[in-house]
Amino acid sequence: MLLAEDLLLLITDDDTGKLVVSGTEADIALGGAQLVQLALAGRVDLTHEGEGRRKGRLVVRDATPTGDPLLDEALAVLVERQGKRPADAVGKLGKRLRQRLYDRLVQQGILRAEEGRVLGVFPKHTWPAADAAHEREVRELVDQVLVSGVTPQPRTAALVALLHALRVVPQVVDPERHGLPRRQLERRAQEVAEGDWGSAAVRSAIEAMRAAVFAAVTAGTVGGATSN
């Protein structure tokens, strides 16, 4: 299961099948998740001093196939963008990815695809849970880290960091159910996100995603204010 698939499950409401964030935010985050997974696997890194390129630019260390078609496509995108900043790749990585991830999750029997119409005219697509067993396992890992203070494995830490960057931790881990103040939960997520569990490339990927999400939200807010 891809990190992006786990992230998509967590930000899709099990009952309504709708995203808990905007489509734009989700797409950026999913692109970031692809970059993070490749960085965790050592496939992608950031350039260091003396490598002939500016420090902190994307470089692919291993371009051999991963065995997953979507991850291989992401790797190919990064091969083309070597020498660029991580922020320059996140948007491209997330482009048209969400629908393909939903399709895979439906094929695996984890979600079900439903179609309807808004006001009887506009088409509406939702993806409620069909078999939530895998998602429950993922949520349990996240709960252990954020609620019980368990030291996370890099993959779970990355997932927490992505959720923190999206600002949806309290929506994924209900603070009231665990008897925790929302602020305490968010502070723990920040501690994990800022931990030393990942390489510089991983941290840069998450920061690039966070900045892109913030920019998208800001643009939407300004646009909404202007249109009103």
pLDDT value of position 228? 42
What does the alpha-carbon distance between residue 91 and residue 209 come to, in Å, rounded to a whole number? 8
pLDDT value of position 143? 97
pLDDT value of position 219? 65
Nearest to 216 by CA among 30, 28, 18, 85: 28
Q: What residue ranges do the domains of the chain occupy?
A: 3-219
Percent of the chain's residues with pLDDT above 70: 93
pLDDT value of position 76? 98
Q: Helices 133-146 & 182-193, crossing angle to 10 degrees?
A: 90
pLDDT value of position 122? 78
> Are 201 and 85 contacting, i.e. CB atoms less than 8 angstroms apart?
no
Q: Report the chain's mean pLDDT, rounded to a whole number.
A: 91
> Are 90 and 31 contacting, i.e. CB atoms less than 8 angstroms apart?
yes
Mind listing the pLDDT tens digit for each residue in 195-215? Answer: 988 888 898 889 888 888 888
pLDDT value of position 214? 83
Mind listing the pLDDT tens digit for each residue in 92-124? Answer: 999 999 999 999 999 999 999 999 876 667 788
pLDDT-flagged residues of the chain (< 70): 50-52, 118-120, 217, 219-228
pLDDT value of position 43? 96
> 3-219 sits in which CATH class?
mainly alpha
pTM above 0.85, yes or no: yes
Give me 208's structure tokens.
């690039």
pLDDT value of position 54? 84
Give me 19's structure tokens.
């995203």
Encoded amino acid at 124, one letter: K
What does the alpha-carbon distance between residue 88 and residue 85 come to, in Å, rounded to a whole number? 5
Contacts of 110 (CB under 8 A, 6+ apart): 9, 129, 130, 131, 132, 134, 135
pLDDT value of position 221? 45
What does the alpha-carbon distance between residue 20 and residue 171 come to, in Å, rounded to a whole number? 8
